Amino acid sequence: MKTQVAIIGSGPSGLLLGQLLHLQGIDTVILEAKSQAYVLSRIRAGVLEQGFVDLLREAKASERMDAEGHVHDGVEFSFGGRTERIDLKGLSGGKTVMVYGQTEVTRDLMAARAKTGATSIYEATDVQLHDFYSDKPRVTFVKDGKTQQLECDYIAGCDGFHGVSRKSVPKDAIKTFERVYPFGWLGVLSETPPVSDELIYANHERGFALCSQRSANLSRYYIQCPLDTNLDEWTDERFWEELKARLPAETAAALVTGPSIEKSIAPLRSFVAEPMKFGNLFLVGDAAHIVPPTGAKGLNLASSDVYTLYHALRKTYQEGRADLLEKYSEICLRRIWKAERFSWWMTSLLHRFDGDEFSQRMQQAELEYYTQSEAGRRTIAENYVGLPYEAVE
């Protein structure tokens, strides 16, 4: 089997890259370890930056997002018994974010790819990357018990944090940076109307809480929890009581509760691998970096990597500009580190650490400063809506 770009992983990175390349006449094959149904059952991100929205439109997979997604002009912070709104649109020169679930983005991209007839191989096990430092890279995999080989020009490693692509790189060719946080998020998805039109980030002495949403009747709520939390000990009732205790009184009173349709614990981690290019292998999205979800940046960073690789590959095939692929890592990493900084800062600002009272006073002072000074609010807005994508030229 032969293709131009072999894509490992059928998450948002792999599907979006595949669709954009296909529309430019560049052939791709996607190899995914899990089944399509399994990939679609994962509940993850839900806040899309303008850059992601634009790219999904360019990929011609935005029809449902444009019809059903919710544009948010602002976001709220609650702390010290009050709530402050950040006017994202007014402070960022008209930019907004779109609330539309990652699961739905994935579903739409899968449907768009199915229409094109491009090859996706699900339940491809034992995926192995070969010869990516040469101009004849290969990927082998097992499908239905039979080993197969895919020859290609380039490999895009879009296989997430636990994937095989990053692990295939020689240890002395890669450097990693990591911070693991001493708490996690206990999240609940419920078929209830969101408590507020906008997202609420709460700093509370009992711990952080987030009121998020996926649609008009699908809410996503999170509370900070210890890493050793046992999910079985968290009935829905206990979760709702704890969430209410961390929200301002009028928000807690307005909260509509209901049975959870998903409940899980996510650890929080910051991680970056440098570089992101190894010969003709490119790491994309979570395969190269992870952020704690506090700044809603994970999926959006995957999208800016895709943007950079898509344009570099397009110009390589169409204009002979292979020099642009050499710049892939440096262009991506400049934006990644800024989003890592914002996600780390939001996490540090809003969570309860086992720190001393001085640190808590500093948190309080930072929250007051950033929400009361126009410069502070503008800084939050500019980062939350997403920093601009760098041109690939």
Q: Give the catalytic positions in this structure.
A: 72, 201, 293, 297, 384
Least distance CB 368 / ligand FAD (angstroms): 26
Is residue 360 helix, strand or coil?
helix
Chain residues 288-307 in contact with ligand FAD, contact rule CB under 6 A: 293, 296-299, 302
Residue choice 7, 39, 333, 336 for contact with ligand FAD (CB under 6 A): 39
Alpha-carbon dihedral sign for residues 373, 374, 375, 377: positive
65 forms part of the interface with ligand FAD (CB under 6 A): no
CA-based radius of gyration for the chain: 21
Interface with ligand FAD includes 69 (CB under 6 A)? no
Tell me which of 160, 184, 194, 207 binds ligand FAD, using CB under 6 A: 160
Residue 340 in the binding site for ligand FAD (CB under 6 A): no
CA-to-CA distance for 294 and 270, rounded, in angstroms? 11
Q: Token pair for residue 231?
A: 């999910």
Interaction between residue 150 and ligand FAD (CB under 6 A): no
Q: How far is the CB of 374 from ligand FAD (least distance, A)?
A: 27
The span of 113-121, 160-168, 351-359, 373-381 binding ligand FAD (CB under 6 A) equals: 160-168
SS3 of 90-133: the string is HHCCCCCEEECCHHHHHHHHHHHHHHHCCEEECCCEEEEEECCC
Q: Say which residue the tokens 């969430």 belong to.
A: 243
| Contact pattern for ligand FAD over residues 13 through 32, marking x by CB under 6 A | xx----------------xx
Least distance to ligand FAD, CB of residue 337, Å? 16
Number of residues that bind ligand FAD (CB under 6 A): 30
- Rounded CA gap, 192 and 221, in Å? 11
8 binds ligand FAD (CB under 6 A): yes
CA distance 160 to 286: 4
Minimum Å distance from CB 223 to ligand FAD?
A: 14
Of the candidate residues 286, 308, 315, 350, the single one contacting ligand FAD (CB under 6 A): 286
How is residue 304 written in tokens?
Answer: 């800016």
- Residues with Cβ within 8 Å of residue 37, at least 6 apart in sequence: none
State in angstroms the smallest separation of the CB of 259 from ligand FAD: 20
Asked if 243 and 221 touch (Cβ cutoff 8 Å), the reply is yes
Least Cα distance to 178 among 81, 291, 258 occurs for 291
Please tell me whether residue 102 binds ligand FAD under the rule CB under 6 A. Answer: yes
Closer by beta carbon to ligand FAD, 264 or else 379? 264
Q: Does 223 bind ligand FAD (CB under 6 A)?
A: no
Least Å distance between CB 369 and ligand FAD? 26
In this structure, are residues 151 and 5 in contact, taking their beta carbons and an 8 Å threshold?
A: no
Closer to ligand FAD by CB, 86 or 302: give it: 302
Does 214 contact ligand FAD by CB under 6 A?
Answer: no
Question: What's the CA gap between 34 and 42, in Å, rounded?
Answer: 11
265 near 225, Cβ under 8 Å? Answer: yes
Does 97 participate in binding ligand FAD (rule CB under 6 A)? no
Q: Could you tell me which stretch among 60-68, 155-163, 194-202, 311-319 binds ligand FAD (CB under 6 A)?
A: 155-163
275 cis-preceded (ω within 30 degrees of 0): yes
CA 318 to chain centre: 30
Query: Least CB distance from residue 382 to ligand FAD, whole Å?
Result: 17
Number of residues written out for the chain: 393
Chain residues that interact with ligand FAD, rule: CB under 6 A: 8-14, 31-34, 39, 44-45, 102, 127, 158-160, 163-164, 266, 285-286, 293, 296-299, 302
